[in-house]
Amino acid sequence: MHRISHIPKPAALLFHVVAMITLLSYCAYRLYLGDWALVAIYSLSLLPLTLSFLKELNGISSHVNRRVTLLMVSIGIAATSLEIGYGGLIFVFPTIFIYFFLFPLTEAFVLSMLFGALSLACGAQTEPMDLIVRFGVAGVNCVIFGAIFAYIISSQHSNLMHLAITDPLTGLYNRKKLNSDLEALPEAPGAALLLVDIDHFKRINDVAGHLEGDRVLKEVGALIQGLLPNTAQAYRYGGEEFLLIFRDIDDARTTCEHLRQGLMQIIRPDMAGKAAPLTCSMGLAARYGEESAVHWLKRADIALYRAKNAGRDCVCVAESPVTLLHQENQVSQEQRVNQEKKENKESHKDKENKSIATH
């Protein structure tokens, strides 16, 4: 179970300001009373809190920084409880809840219990046992309620995150998840990218309606999920297109064949409204060296359109980056030659028109 969520900067700053004002007030009061021991404790607690506030203000704070600050402030609260008992113990309760914002659930539970026990042990040196027992019961309740609250919020956050990155129709990951995964994917060779396009999908919507089209997409999504290796990821790329990322090219080739065979079992209506097996066109691209994700995806897309132009219901393997670059250069050179011929022809024609006009 993860932390409750990312803590917004305004909330973190507000927490720091309230904590700093509280400590400064107590520090000034103890300074007025001449209680130098507590002044020293409060000052030591203020130091990490102030440094953490400055980091938050400049946007360079981290969870590690926040955790260390919380632990140091907790030690200060325990030391205060040792000196003045009740006056320090009252800070235990709000601090317990902060643990559940900064640590995973299990760690927060254990650390908050240890913090509470340490503070109570320190407070027991100056306060009667019946007061320590009451504070102990209240502290345990705070830990339990904090854990329940953190579990509920974390579960809701996980559900929202799942909805945000999942296509609701097919159950596969959506385009948003794909973009983030491609950016995070290390530039290492051996991986493969497969683009899948359902053949003549528009006919299904036109002949049988969009509900039938949705049924086909759901079945295709379920089929892909069932065939996918544990190390691969599948996404709905858009419309009737799907994208699969494999860590190994051999897994991609095996999945291609199984996917074609599985799609044959899914029935769709043809133009006459009769039952016909579903087919697809696929473009497979292996990743080369430190090739960028954008160029990798472009090669898979080109391979997919080659499969469509080849009659559909087939797989086309993408050209290597070097071969593709050579082909693009050839096309560019041909385009430049054609453009020069066109310009020369237009220039020659202009000269002829000027000559005619002169005569």
Per-domain residue ranges of the chain: 9-165, 175-319
Q: How far is Cα 80 from Cα 74, in angstroms, rounded to an integer?
A: 10
> Which residues, at least 6 apart from 172, have a Cβ–Cβ distance to it below 8 Å?
166, 221, 224, 225, 234, 235, 236, 242
The token pair at 171 is 């159950």
CA distances from 141 to 50, 63, 152 (A): 30, 26, 17
**Do 204 and 268 touch, CB atoms closer than 8 A?**
yes
> SS3 for 293?
helix
**Do 120 and 135 touch, CB atoms closer than 8 A?**
yes
Specify the pLDDT at position 246: 93
Q: In what order do the strands lie in the sheet with 241-246?
A: 233-238, 241-246, 192-198, 280-286, 315-317
> SS3 for 341?
helix
Specify the pLDDT at position 271: 57
Q: How far is Cα 107 from Cα 113, in angstroms, rounded to an integer?
A: 10
Q: How far is Cα 329 from Cα 343, in angstroms, rounded to an integer?
A: 21
> SS3 for 161?
helix
Q: What is the pLDDT along the chain (359 residues), one digit of tens a residue?
A: 444 446 777 877 887 888 888 888 878 888 888 888 888 888 888 888 888 888 888 888 788 888 888 888 898 889 889 888 888 899 899 999 999 988 999 999 999 999 999 999 999 999 999 999 999 999 999 999 999 999 998 888 889 889 999 999 999 999 999 988 887 777 666 789 999 999 989 888 888 889 989 999 999 999 999 999 998 999 999 899 999 999 888 999 999 999 999 998 887 766 555 778 899 999 999 988 778 888 889 999 999 999 999 999 999 999 887 665 555 555 455 555 455 566 566 655 655 665 565 55
Closest by CA position to 260, among listed 191, 316, 193, 206: 316
> Which residues, at least 6 apart from 316, have a Cβ–Cβ distance to it below 8 Å?
281, 282, 283, 284, 303, 304, 306, 307, 310
Q: How far is Cα 118 from Cα 270, in angstroms, rounded to an integer?
A: 74
> SS3 for 281?
strand
Please give the span between the terminal C-alpha atoms of the chain, in angstroms, as a whole number: 91
Specify the pLDDT at position 353: 60
**Do 282 and 315 touch, CB atoms closer than 8 A?**
yes
What is the pTM assigned to this prediction?
A: 0.66
* CATH 3.40.50.300 fits domain 175-319: no
**Do 278 and 222 touch, CB atoms closer than 8 A?**
no
Q: Where are the beta strands (DSSP E) in the chain?
A: 192-198, 233-238, 241-246, 267-269, 275-277, 280-286, 315-317
Residue 16, amino acid: H
> Which residues, at least 6 apart from 97, have a Cβ–Cβ distance to it below 8 Å?
142, 146, 149
